[in-house]
Amino acid sequence: MPKILPDRWKQRIRNRLLDFDARIDSTLFSSAVGIRELWERFSTFMDRFYVGRWKRWVFIEPLSEAATIGAGGLLVLLALAQPAFRETADEDWLKKSDLAVTFLDRYGNPIGSRGIKHNDSIPLEDFPDSLIKATLATEDRRFYDHFGIDIAGTARALVTNAQAGGVRQGGSSISQQLAKNLFLSNERTLERKVNEAFLAIWLETRLSKNEILKLYLDRAYMGGGTFGADGAAHFYFNKSVRDVNLAEAAMLAGLFKAPTKFAPHINLPAARARANVVLDNLVDAGFMTEGQVFGARRNPASVVDRRDENSPNYYLDWAFDEVRKVVETFPKSYTERVFVVRTTIDTNVQRAAEAAIENQLRQFGRDYHATQAATVLSDLDGGVRAMVGGRDYGSSQFNRAVDAYRQPGSSFKPYVYTTALLNGFKPTSIVVDGPVCIGNWCPQNYGHSYSGSVTLTQAITRSINVVPVKLSITLGGKAGPKAGRAKIVEVARRFGIKAPLIDTPSLPIGSTEVTVLEHAVAYATFPNKGKAPTPHAVLEVRTGAGDLVWRFDRDGPKPRQAIPASVAADMAGMMSHVVSEGTARRAALDGIPTAGKTGTTNAYRDAWFVGYTGNFSCAVWYGNDDYSPTNRMTGGSLPAQTWRDIMIAAHQGVEVSELAGVGMGTRLPASPAQANARAADDDAKPAPPPVLTRRGADILARLEKMLDDAAKAIDKTEPGKPVSSTTVGFPDNFAAASPGGAPASGPRKN
């Protein structure tokens, strides 16, 4: 390059570069001088505001720290507000809960209603003045003064609760309670309270105070399955909310705090006592004088007697949630909010289910230390014909059939055996019931003994624990037990189990948790020739004018082939032995083919029986809400007997269908010997459990083991007895033998 360019060009380029460098240096120097001058001027100007000595530490530093902390606090508040404001993303937020649904049973008879229907003929101005004052005096006296959160009221509630050592006073404003009703659940968590506060402020910016109060009066739950003051007035007093007097208004206003506790049709004395507290609040708030409330104190409200009404409230709550999901699938342009829904419920079976559970708990609940139960009965396409979510809806609206996750115990094993049949096993395949460990966990059978070689049918009949665990190990092959359990979970998912199914070594024997609803409908896969149905309550949805807008057989999900029909038949054949000769003999039905599985969890916390016929599938659970153990209740006791009582009612007037793999069932009793056995079983219907000390139980367990050892020793020395010697490549002493192999008898687990 130096040789190519002329010398004069080289000089010009050098001069230009020097000029450019000089300009950069000059600009940087001038900028630095200018900045220094500006800084000096700024410093001189700010020196006028300099505060020193004590004034700086008293005023300036705290203000600076407050500004810093405030900026950080605003960022934290913004982050906390995001989950709350996501709840308002739906443009239809004000209407998404605004459904009014009338429910019919499967035959078209009204059974109840749910939801909220805005009635423009009753604006806020037409609500009795006494009801509005009673509500404000009791729920939020500063409603028209605060911005959505009553800071003074919240502080007062905190002080009162701290002094009382418990929750004595609520600090939520009406705006906060409305936000909870519109967007949130009733769970008592800090996250919910934070979201509630932000949503209350958001509501205050979108709606007027009167609109918030009107929505609150329309949408609050008032007990008895009713929402809104007008619905409650009709339910409790058989009149419009326009016509309630002061005593009735006080009783209605007292329901907002705890509708379950103070519902007058459940506990009239408590409701009247609460109404008297509301009258005190009216006087304390200055809304009325003692003379004005005196008449209401002397003449408390009388309510309509609803004791003979038996609405299937647990079922209706679940069905209403399903209707909401169905309506969400409608086009955004669809504005209809009033519907008439025909459901799958059979009211006769529903009443029989409720009566069966109540009778068993009333007669034996105290002896067994069991306080709650739940059941679901489904037809083979997943339509729920009966649901009991607890003993008393009035005392607890928590639906144990839908929302409670409980360990299924041995009733989970059919999913394990189904997985085994899908992977080459047969009902006659033989497995050695002997010690096995996965890591530090070693499962034990009921009675702490082993039965030796057993077929899969015998293992499920006796509810042996070791065999399902060994099956999970074999199913995993070289990949290990975890891979085997993954196959089991995948099969359970095919059946329709949506519960988390946490993977643990004890998963094959039912340590994971499921719901009664999913468990009951999943078992319907067996009699449905391997097709897994979807649980549902809704058959038809019509508008208030009668126009059909949705139908399950046309618009609902179709059954999916979860397992081959041959496997379903094999499982039904295996599980029928559980009822005929195993742990669930109390569930046997006369002349109706029956199959199922009992389940009992550690410490007897949960007792199950889940079974099916060629027509229906049903699950029954007994236990306690606080997970406390029962008094040795097993799945073959109250659950099996309750299942039988429900199924007898369900099959009344129904043509009995054949159960593939079982046949048409047998009449009971069929012989004098079976008649005596059946009579013994009938005499042994669930009764108070025997009282046995721990020492006595240990002695009996040792005696049982000694008898088993003696029987095995005799079998070994008995001449001419065939012994299986052919083994296959299964780990943990798995052996294949002929279907006729007869294992040593072992203890049964209910």
pLDDT digits (tens, 9 = 90+) for 127-162: 999 999 999 999 999 899 988 888 877 777 666 656
Which H, E and C letters describe 246-277, residue by residue? HHHHHHHHCCCCCHHHHCCCCCHHHHHHHHHH
Query: In percent, how much of the chain has pLDDT > 90?
Result: 55
pLDDT bucket at 395, cuts 50 / 70 / 90: confident
Q: What is the CATH number of the domain that holds 198?
A: 1.10.3810.10
Question: Do 498 and 405 contact (CB within 8 A), yes or no?
Answer: no
Which H, E and C letters describe 224-242, residue by residue? CCCECHHHHHHHHHCCCHH
Strands 100-104, 338-343: pairing is parallel
Residue 115 has pLDDT above 90, yes or no: no
More confident residue, 708 or 218: 218
Sign of CA dihedral 325, 331, 334, 335: positive
More confident residue, 119 or 374: 374
Residues 525 and 605 in one domain: yes
Question: Over the stretch 327-346, which tens digit does the pLDDT of each residue have?
Answer: 989 987 777 888 999 999 99
* Structure confidence at residue 334 (pLDDT): 79
Give the residue from 78, 84, 75 showing the smallest Cα distance to 199: 84
Residue 115: helix, strand or coil by DSSP? strand
pLDDT bucket at 574, cuts 50 / 70 / 90: very high
- Which phi and psi (to 5°) does residue 236 adopt? -90, -35
* Structure confidence at residue 271 (pLDDT): 93
Average pLDDT, the chain: 84
Residue 740 has pLDDT above 90, yes or no: no
Which H, E and C letters describe 418-486, residue by residue? HHHHHCCCCCCCEEEECCCCECCECCCCCCCCCCEEEEHHHHHHHCCCHHHHHHHHHHHHHHCHHHHHH
Residue 492 has pLDDT above 50, yes or no: yes
pLDDT bucket at 59, cuts 50 / 70 / 90: confident
Residue 745 has pLDDT above 50, yes or no: no
Residues 96 and 213 in one domain: yes
Residues 257 and 393 in one domain: no
Residues 263 and 367 in one domain: no
Mean pLDDT highest for which of 149-158, 159-168, 486-495, 671-680?
486-495
- Which phi and psi (to 5°) does residue 374 adopt? -150, 150
Rounded to an integer, what is the distance from CA 313 to the centroid of its chain?
Answer: 16
Beta partners for 339? Answer: 101, 543
Rounded to an integer, what is the distance from CA 495 to the centroid of its chain?
Answer: 19
Mean pLDDT calculated for residue range 179-185 = 79
* Structure confidence at residue 369 (pLDDT): 96
Residue 460 has pLDDT above 60, yes or no: yes
- The two structure tokens encoding residue 573: 């054949």
In a domain, 335, yes or no: no
Residues 566 and 446 in one domain: no
* Structure confidence at residue 198 (pLDDT): 83
Question: Over the stretch 650-663, which tens digit does the pLDDT of each residue have?
Answer: 999 999 999 999 98
In a domain, 287, yes or no: yes
* Structure confidence at residue 722 (pLDDT): 39
For the sheet containing 110-115, what is the strand order? 110-115, 100-104, 338-343, 538-543, 548-551
Rounded to an integer, what is the distance from CA 443 to the centroid of its chain?
Answer: 29
SS3 content of the chain, % helix, strand, coil (to 5): 50, 10, 40
Mean pLDDT highest for which of 72-81, 309-318, 370-379, 687-696?
370-379
Question: Do 702 and 708 contact (CB within 8 A), yes or no?
Answer: no
Question: Over the stretch 532-548, which tens digit does the pLDDT of each residue have?
Answer: 999 999 999 999 889 99
The whole-angstrom separation of Cα 621 and Cα 391 is 12
Is the preceding omega at residue 128 within 30 degrees of 0, hence cis? no
Residues 185 and 202 in one domain: yes
Question: Do 615 and 646 contact (CB within 8 A), yes or no?
Answer: no
Question: Over the stretch 185-194, which tens digit does the pLDDT of each residue have?
Answer: 666 677 777 7
Is the preceding omega at residue 669 within 30 degrees of 0, hence cis? yes
Give the residue from 232, 236, 210 showing the smallest Cα distance to 221: 232
pLDDT bucket at 567, cuts 50 / 70 / 90: very high
Question: Over the stretch 62-97, which tens digit does the pLDDT of each residue have?
Answer: 888 888 888 887 777 677 667 766 766 666 666 555
What string of DSSP letters covers 141-170?
TTTTTSSSS-HHHHHHHHHHHHHHTS--S-
Question: Over the stretch 225-235, which tens digit does the pLDDT of each residue have?
Answer: 788 898 889 88
* Structure confidence at residue 499 (pLDDT): 95
Look up residue 116 and give its amino acid.
Answer: I
In a domain, 748, yes or no: no
In a domain, 367, yes or no: yes
The whole-angstrom separation of Cα 200 and Cα 388 is 35
Give the residue from 121, 184, 547, 538 showing the smallest Cα distance to 334: 547
Q: How many domains does the chain have?
A: 3
- The two structure tokens encoding residue 615: 């027509």
Residue 39 has pLDDT above 70, yes or no: yes
For residue 750, what is the DSSP state? -
In a domain, 226, yes or no: yes
Residue 531: helix, strand or coil by DSSP? strand
Residue 750 has pLDDT above 50, yes or no: no
Rounded to an integer, what is the distance from CA 215 to the centroid of its chain?
Answer: 28
Query: In percent, how much of the chain has pLDDT > 70?
Result: 82
In a domain, 7, yes or no: no
* Structure confidence at residue 721 (pLDDT): 41
The CA-atom distances, in angstroms, between 409 and each of 159, 261, 464, 600, 630 are 47, 34, 12, 5, 14
Instruction: Classify residue 465 by burial, with Cβ atoms within 10 Å: 0-12, 13-18, 19+.
Output: buried
Residues 104 and 249 in one domain: yes
Least confident of 226-235, 465-474, 480-489: 226-235
Q: Which of 634, 666, 698 is the last residue of a domain?
A: 666
Angle at CA of residue 496, ends 491 and 501, nearest 5°: 65
Residues 361 and 454 in one domain: no
Angle at CA of residue 131, ends 128 and 132, nearest 5°: 90
For residue 48, what is the DSSP state? G
Residues 387 and 417 in one domain: no
- Domain range for residue 238? 86-310
Residues 354 and 449 in one domain: no
Question: Over the stretch 603-620, which tens digit does the pLDDT of each residue have?
Answer: 999 999 999 999 999 999
* Structure confidence at residue 90 (pLDDT): 64
Residue 667: helix, strand or coil by DSSP? coil
What string of DSSP letters covers 551-610?
EHHHHSPPPEE-S-HHHHHHHHHHHHHHHHTSTTGGG--TTS--EEEEEE-GGG-EEEEE
Q: What is the CATH number of the domain that holds 576?
A: 3.40.710.10
Strands 384-388, 372-379: pairing is antiparallel
- Which phi and psi (to 5°) does residue 113 adopt? -145, 160
Sign of CA dihedral 127, 133, 136, 138: negative
In a domain, 33, yes or no: no
Give the residue from 383, 339, 294 showing the smallest Cα distance to 102: 339
Sign of CA dihedral 147, 150, 151, 152: positive
* Structure confidence at residue 148 (pLDDT): 86
Question: Do 620 and 646 contact (CB within 8 A), yes or no?
Answer: yes
In a domain, 646, yes or no: yes
- Which phi and psi (to 5°) does residue 628 adopt? -70, 150
- The two structure tokens encoding residue 202: 């958001």
Residues 163 and 287 in one domain: yes
Residues 222 and 256 in one domain: yes
Q: Which of 478, 495, 510 is the last residue of a domain?
A: 510
Mean pLDDT calculated for residue range 545-557 = 93
* Structure confidence at residue 586 (pLDDT): 95
Residues 6+ apart with CB under 8 A from 72: none
Q: Which of 605, 633, 666 is the last residue of a domain?
A: 666
- The two structure tokens encoding residue 210: 């009167």
Beta partners for 620? Answer: 375, 609
Give the residue from 372, 311, 326, 378 showing the smallest Cα distance to 111: 311
Question: Over the stretch 292-309, which tens digit does the pLDDT of each residue have?
Answer: 999 999 999 999 887 656
Question: Do 600 and 409 contact (CB within 8 A), yes or no?
Answer: yes
Residue 508: helix, strand or coil by DSSP? helix
